[in-house]
Structure 1
């Protein structure tokens, strides 16, 4: 049995994130460092170079080594990106196992979260902490190469600035774009997507 504790710790710490990719009519769940979900990393490195933060030599080296040589993530380079050792492509069962790893996702907690939204009933520190742990295991990025759509929920970071000019890109909720059968965060009728909004309510 695969042990997921290290991965869920990385998700909690913000070192890793989950992205839902659509490519040639197929979808892929991928865990990676969140900066690897930027599409055009060259824009970032060019900005560092223009501001004098890095030298021309550092710029060239960074462009060659970033994301195992996939500087620009496109429909053509996506499969090469997936083949790198550091990528974790997850199955539906993997996602379910990760989601519940070490948690007691009870109706009691869910009822408290819903009570918080309905009537403003305060969550205790323990409940709030558990709800945020659940939220850390939700996808943060959505990349659809077929429709040229890029969305993320990494608030405070302008990932949309590193998207190609003919793409639609926005920092916004993308839950509606994920097929219902892929929503691993819906358990026994409990939709845990709402947990991610607790801190911003």
Structure 2
């Protein structure tokens, strides 16, 4: 696949030791969830009020748990059952 699985194990099992590497991984975790079929927009920015900018007929809200809505086959931040969004 092009990545070193042992590196991910080290980071996952020792998040304090690999703080910088973990931050680089966490920066790639989605900040938005957009469902175009249902007109739903979720974000995880507490300090930003995207609800004021939403189009009509859309639902928009802050949520820190929308990652659960994403099917597992699209969760690139989960490597061999290691979920880097939960560290």
The partner residue of 2:57 within 160, 166, 184 is: 166
TM-score by length of 2: 0.77
1:135 lines up with 2:37 in the alignment: no
Deviation at residue 165 of structure 1 after TM alignment: 4.0
Partner of 1:190: 82
- What are the Cα deviations for residues 89-121 of structure 1, in whole angstroms up to 9, with x where unaligned? xxxxxxx87xx6xxx7431220124xxxxxxxx
Deviations 1:8-58 (A, max 9, x none): xxxxxxxxxxxxxxxxxxxxxxxxxxxxxxxxxxxxxxxxxxxxxxxxxxx
Instruction: Give the secondary structure class of the aligned counterpart of 1:106.
Output: helix
The residue aligned with 1:107 is 9
Q: Which SS does the other structure have where 1:146 is aligned?
A: coil
SS of the aligned residue for 2:38 comes to: coil
Alignment RMSD (CA, Å):
2.2
Query: Shift of the alpha carbon at 1:189?
Result: 1.8
Listed as ranges, the gaps of 5+ residues in structure 1 are 1-95, 114-122, 196-201
Task: Name the CA distance, whole Å, in 2 between partners of 1:105 and 1:138.
Answer: 18
Q: Distance in 2 between matches of 1:182 and 1:128?
A: 25
Aligned length: 84
- The C-alpha deviation readout for 1:97-156, integer Å capped at 9, x for no partner, is 7xx6xxx7431220124xxxxxxxxx24xx222211111011111111211110112331
CA distance in structure 2 between the partners assigned to 1:135 and 1:163 by the alignment: 26
Contact kept? 1:151, 1:160, Cα under 8 Å: no
Q: Could you say which residue in structure 2 is the equivalent of 1:151?
A: 42
Question: 1:168, CA displacement in angstroms?
Answer: 1.8
- The residue aligned with 1:89 is none
Greater percentage in helix: 1
